[in-house]
Amino acid sequence: MLILTRKKNESIIINNDIEITILESDDGKVKIGIDAPKSVKIHRKEVFDAIIEENKQAASSKRSAENLKNLIPKK
């Protein structure tokens, strides 16, 4: 992992078009500003991990139609 030290209001540039700025830091928290093209997906890591975890469970779900029939809403 590349480690850089930055002060408040200093930033780093990734790939020419992504700028990450340190806006605030105190008490163990860091506020970060990200300027990136719209097409760049940005997620908090825990959100990203949660999606992958849900997808992995979904992909390994019991696939039988028999099981699924029990899930159908009864109107």
Partner 1 sequence: MKIVTDYLGEVEYTKEDIISFPDGIYGFPDSREYLLLGEMTTEFPFVWLQSTTEETLSFILTNPFLFVEKYDFNLDDDIIAKLKLEKVEDVQVFTTVIVKENIKESSINLKSPIVINRNEMIASQVVLAEDYPFKHFIFQKGTDEPC
Q: Which residues bind partner 1 (CB under 8 A)?
A: 38-39, 41, 43, 47-48, 50-59, 61-65, 67-74
- Taking the complex as a whole, how short is the minimal distance between the CB of residue 59 and partner 1, in angstroms? 6
Q: Which is nearer to partner 1, 10 or 49 (CB)?
A: 49
Q: How far apart are CA 50 and CA 45, in angstroms?
A: 8
Q: Which two tokens stand for residue 59?
A: 């992909």
Q: Which is nearer to partner 1, 14 or 42 (CB)?
A: 42
Own/partner contacts of 32-41, CB < 8 Å, gap of 24 or more, are none
**CB within 8 A of 34, min separation 6: which ones?**
18, 19, 20, 21, 42
- Taking the complex as a whole, how short is the minimal distance between the CB of residue 42 and partner 1, in angstroms? 10
Q: Which is nearer to partner 1, 5 or 60 (CB)?
A: 60
